[in-house]
């Protein structure tokens, strides 16, 4: 008999609160739990999203600017998507992470992948952040954490630093939890290239 089954059988014989407490402490199999909720499993469909935010554009004078947009998971069908969640615009770690994705953006695009950031900040904050950092990829706003929760990436009032690599078929192929911002973009790009090889 499996070790967990033996332990459950023994605990079922226990009476009172102690038996129930011990039984409830057993780990649940096949469930990845993060502080922000249950993470979606690898090789399963990515949770749906449809959020407002900002995206890069070029104005009439040829200058880069950020314009209001709405994007959904379906907008990336047939392409790879790097969907990364982060706590706040303009903070040290979040700025370092965004700069990494911007530095490697052309390599992601050559590999057929879009990069999209998500945080609880409003679109105006995202527009300022894109402008100040020269970011040329979309940032989406998830103020109530609805989408972040679906991805196991929410501890109110912030999204947690998690990244998901979603395949052209809408399936999660890789994920990173509690990301370290330094070098993370390169780590994701290396995994994308490995999966495409």
Catalytic residues: 94
* Distance from C-alpha of 117 to C-alpha of 126, rounded to nearest angstrom: 10
**Spatial CA neighbour of 120 closest among 91, 82, 81:** 91
- End-to-end Cα separation, the chain, in angstroms: 41
Q: Which helix (H) or strand (E) holds 127?
A: helix 123-133
Distance of CA 117 to the CA centre of its chain: 8
């Amino acid at each position: 008999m499996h070790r967990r089954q033996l332990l459950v059988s023994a605990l079922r014989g226990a009476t009172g609160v102690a038996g129930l407490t011990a039984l409830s402490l057993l780990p649940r199999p096949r469930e990845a739990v993060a502080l922000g909720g249950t993470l979606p499993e690898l090789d399963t469909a990515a949770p749906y999203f449809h959020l407002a935010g900002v995206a890069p554009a070029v104005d009439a004078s040829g200058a880069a600017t950020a314009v209001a947009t709405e994007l959904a998971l379906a907008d990336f069908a047939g392409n790879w998507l790097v969907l990364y969640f982060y706590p706040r615009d303009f903070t040290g770690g979040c700025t370092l992470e965004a700069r990494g994705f911007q530095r490697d953006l052309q390599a992601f695009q050559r590999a057929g992948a879009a990069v999209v950031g998500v945080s609880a900040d409003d679109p105006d904050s995202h527009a300022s952040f894109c402008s100040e950092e020269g970011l040329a990829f979309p940032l989406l706003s998830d103020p109530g954490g609805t989408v972040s929760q679906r991805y196991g990436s929410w501890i109110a009032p912030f999204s947690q630093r998690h990244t998901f690599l979603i395949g052209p078929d809408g399936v999660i192929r890789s994920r990173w939890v509690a990301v370290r911002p330094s070098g993370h973009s390169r780590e994701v790009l290396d995994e994308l290239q490995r999966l495409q090889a």
